[in-house]
Amino acid sequence: MKIFFTIFGLFLTPTLFAANPTPDYYRCINRVGGEWNYGRAPNGCDASAFGEDRTLLSNYPKLIFLDLENRTIERNRYMEEMHALIREAAQLYILKRNPQASRQEIEYWQKLVTATADQETFFSHYRSASDQRLKMMRGDIGHGHGMMQVDDRHHFPAIQQGIGWNLMGNLVYAMDILYPQWTRAPSQTCVGSSTNYEARMRAAWAAYNGGPSKICRFTNPNDKFANNDKGFHSKLKSQSWKKYVADLNKEASVDVGCLIENREDCPPPGDGTGSQVLEHTLYKQENFYCVRSGTKLSCVEESKNAVCLDTISKLNSLDSRTLPQHNLVVEIVDRHKICSQFSSSLLKVGNFLETKQAIFLRATPGGGALGVIPKGEILEVSDFEIRNLDSKDRYYKINLEGKIGYFYAGSASSYASWAIKSDQTAPIPSQIARMGEKIRIKNSAGINMRKTPGGSLLGNIPKAKELTVLSYIIQGSQNYLYYMVSYNGKAGYVYSGFLEPNSSVHLWTERVR
Amino acid sequence: MKKVFIIIGLAILSGLLIKTQTFREAKQPEPNSPSFKKKEKISNFTTNKSKEVKENVLEKYQTLVLCYETQDCDFPNSDAREYDYSIGQAIKELFIKTNGLDIPDKEKENLLKALADQGINSYDGYVQAEALKIYSSLPIDRENLAKILSGLSQSNDPLLIEYAMKEFERYIGQPEEVDIAAFLSTLFQEGGQFSSEKASTLILSFINERTLAIYEQAATQIPETSRPGIYLRKALNEYYRIQSAG
């Protein structure tokens, strides 16, 4: 841990808008070699330097190359999985950016992204190596991270956030760089038109590899890096990845759309859709996840809350199916309520906690180590996530001296050795006023007081009025804050904004100190 | 005796006034006098020097940008990307050095603005960030905003967009905010994943009477499950709530 303190101390605060002087093989621990073949390109370093193994295993169980398995069989298996993921992700990505993209353009874009993954790393990203550790692809003397080789000198903040480590994050981040070159290419003299797809792919990749000014590099056989373009062209023409993929149309074993948007904690797609809504089965519709209980369909927003539906109807697994047509009564349930029921030891938003050991602070629950939270630190919970049906692993979002992030706080059985509820107040002032404190109404239209949060209207409390807080409650996917107050002889609730992703509380009330 | 003192006093006073006048006149050189010509020479020299400095800086900028085209400048080229990145860093250095020049403030401001007008369109995100910094130090200006919006229209850099959002906040309440709304709407619908997501988390303060319709229209075009769409719709709901007092 001391080594990590030192390393983090050296690299925690890069200048945002400057190339970072990241050393070769930055945070590369237990480096292993490989071979220039699919899934095992050299080198690999411990993935845990950039993200949780637990999250990696949970999110991408079938997208890890297993070194100890029969090489030929494993390569075929891995390539089929990876190819499906890349194909689906590329399609969703281009349709998101250009809903009018033609079938032809989509296919060539998919081919470009696939060939890029091939050229950069032979599709290599995660690997379970012979030392029994999970590795992550690190090329270009360690500067290239993951399948698409996100460079840690020029994308250091993204690397710190775990984007290079997270397979989908890595791929999407790379497509964000590749796509503008794809759209720029037709206007270049070396391409000439939007349907000159071969030149367009070659140009886009040349710019991805060498920078925007190199977009026509592939036309110059004397360029210092002409071999890079030749290599890419060769891969584009041969498509040798196809040799390892039995089913080119296989569906991805992960929820690609969800991972593009959320990067972590997406229930994998289940088998088939079926025409009936079954009990104990998780269903998905748009951004909602649902479970049936009798004639009622209980739904919660956001994939990260899906596991808590287990408290309503015991889930067989977290595989989700597409919700078919139904006649059930739909009830939207509150994440705070069902997740507390799912695990009674889960701390609530607004609670203070004390860390019982030094713990990594991460940009997301599973990835991007930002630093270390010391043991004995008092912090306020601003959000939570709970994962895994059996272990009920919990993560809390906190603010550590201005650095906002998440930390792993143990499972249902081990949480007490990670972080426990505290009666002490965190040093950073809370946005939430507590019982007995005063708040002042800031909204120019005042705030309506209601019998229950969002319920029937009791009256309006005007701007500038000061009230004493009787209690507070947090509801909903954005952590909506409601205060219980007394006004004109009546007790009721006033809405005071949301806490996530960026707080709006200051538009509604302020704490009177 | 009293009258004598008054007369002497007046004489002394007159003498002082005459002397002062003479002194004042002596401070104003004659147009053809050597001191007048020297003063004019200094003034011309300063103006010419500033003009020379400006031309030098802009020429240096153009020379660096040309390096992208010619591909034969003396920059490191040990890996595929190093050449492009090195040009970007050199341009960034030019911005920083220009900011440190010992020239009158107004001229420096004009020079930096001229650089920003070029740099905002750069290939390099670091250079664009320097350009943004310069615009942020200037009073709000419709033309400057137009240049920013144009320069960043293809940006995929979430940090750059986050920085730009701070600059856009200065235009809230100004007629130009509808141009920002149009830019952000396009970003949410067609932009890079990370940059559009970042901007959408910051959108609430930009929604008001003047821009509401633009954002509402954008919300109908963005898929239900896309993160920018989710955040935009939630921000719109919050806006309605604010108007209706919760």
Query: Rounded to an integer, what distance in angstroms lies between the CA atom of residue A234 and that of residue A229?
Result: 8
What are phi and psi for residue A289, nearest 5 degrees?
A: -120, 140
Query: Rounded to an integer, what distance in angstroms lies between the CA atom of residue A302 and that of residue A454?
Result: 21
* Six token digits for residue A103: 């079938």
Start-to-end CA distance of chain A, whole Å, equals 40
* Domains of chain A: residue spans and CATH: 16-244 (1.10.530), 265-341 (no CATH), 352-422 (2.30.30.40), 438-512 (2.30.30.40)
Query: Rounded to an integer, what distance in angstroms lies between the CA atom of residue A239 and that of residue A293?
Result: 49
Find the radius of gyration of the CA atoms of chain A.
Answer: 25
Beta strands in A21-142 (DSSP E): 44-46, 64-66, 126-128, 134-139
pLDDT for position A513: 84
Cα dihedral B37→B42→B48→B53 (10° resolution): 170
Q: With beta carbons under 8 A apart, name residues in chain B contacting A443.
A: 242, 245-246
Query: Rounded to an integer, what distance in angstroms lies between the CA atom of residue A493 and that of residue A459?
Result: 10
pLDDT for position A8: 38
- Min mean pLDDT across A14-23, A120-129, A263-272 is at A14-23
pLDDT beyond 50 at B27: no
Three-state secondary structure along A436-497? CCEEEECCCCCEEEECCCCCCEEEEECCCCEEEEEEEEEECCCCEEEEEEEECCEEEEEEEE
Hey, are the CB atoms on B225 and A446 less than 8 Å from each other?
no
Nearest CA in chain B to A449: B246
* Six token digits for residue A321: 């199916």
Confidence of residue A459 (pLDDT cuts 50, 70, 90): very high
A102 Cβ partners below 8 Å, 6+ apart?
none
pLDDT for position A4: 40
pLDDT for position B11: 52
pLDDT beyond 70 at A376: yes
Q: Which one of B69, B77, B190 has the shortest CB-CB distance to A224?
A: B77
**A175 vs B: CB within 8 A:** yes
Secondary structure (DSSP) of B89-142? HHHHHHHHHHHT--S-HHHHHHHHHHHHHHHTT-S-HHHHHHHHHHHHHSPP-H
Query: Rounded to an integer, what distance in angstroms lies between the CA atom of residue B230 and that of residue A496?
Result: 20
Hey, are the CB atoms on A19 and B89 less than 8 Å from each other?
yes
From chain A residues 96-135, the ones with a CB under 8 A of any chain B CB are 96-98
Over the stretch A150-162, which tens digit does the pLDDT of each residue have? 999 989 999 999 9
User: What is the residue-averaged pLDDT of chain A?
Assistant: 94
From chain A residues 257-286, the ones with a CB under 8 A of any chain B CB are 257-258, 260-262, 286
Q: Give the DSSP H/E element, type plus range, for residue A53.
A: helix A53-59
Q: With beta carbons under 8 A apart, name residues in chain B contacting A255.
A: none
Hey, are the CB atoms on B224 and A172 less than 8 Å from each other?
no
Lookup result for tokens 């500033």: B50
Nearest CA in chain B to A226: B80
Average pLDDT over residues A19-42: 94
Average pLDDT over residues B25-35: 51
| Closest-CA distance of chain B to residue A181, Å | 10
Over the stretch A270-289, which tens digit does the pLDDT of each residue have? 886 678 999 999 999 999 99
Q: Which one of B77, B129, B190 has the shortest CB-CB distance to A17?
A: B129
Hey, are the CB atoms on B92 and A18 less than 8 Å from each other?
yes
Quick check: helix, strand or coil at residue A330?
Answer: strand
Strand partners, A510: A440
Query: Rounded to an integer, what distance in angstroms lies between the CA atom of residue A406 and that of residue A404?
Result: 7
Q: Which one of B130, B156, B227 has the shortest CB-CB distance to A180?
A: B156
pLDDT for position B53: 76
Nearest CA in chain A to B65: A213
Greatest Cα-to-Cα distance within chain B, rounded to the nearest angstrom: 105
Hey, are the CB atoms on A176 and B156 less than 8 Å from each other?
yes
Q: Which one of B71, B83, B245 has the shortest CB-CB distance to A443?
A: B245
Amino acid at A164: G
| Closest-CA distance of chain A to residue B135, Å | 16
Under a CB-based contact definition with an 8 Å cutoff, are residues A63 and A167 in contact? yes
**A23 vs B: CB within 8 A:** no
pLDDT beyond 60 at B4: no
**A166 vs B: CB within 8 A:** no
Q: Which one of B163, B194, B241 has the shortest CB-CB distance to A173?
A: B194
Q: Which of B186, B198, B206, B242 to mutate to test the interface with A (most CBs of A within 10 A)?
A: B242
- Cα angle A259, A126, A387 (rounded to 5 degrees) comes to 45
How many residue pairs bridge chain A and chain B with CB atoms within 8 Å of each other? Answer: 121
Nearest to B220 by CA among B194, B244, B192, B189: B189
pLDDT for position B24: 38
Over the stretch A412-444, which tens digit does the pLDDT of each residue have? 999 999 999 999 999 999 999 999 999 999 999
User: What is the residue-averaged pLDDT of chain B?
Assistant: 85
Q: With beta carbons under 8 A apart, name residues in chain B contacting A212.
A: 68, 84, 123
Hey, are the CB atoms on A209 and B81 less than 8 Å from each other?
yes
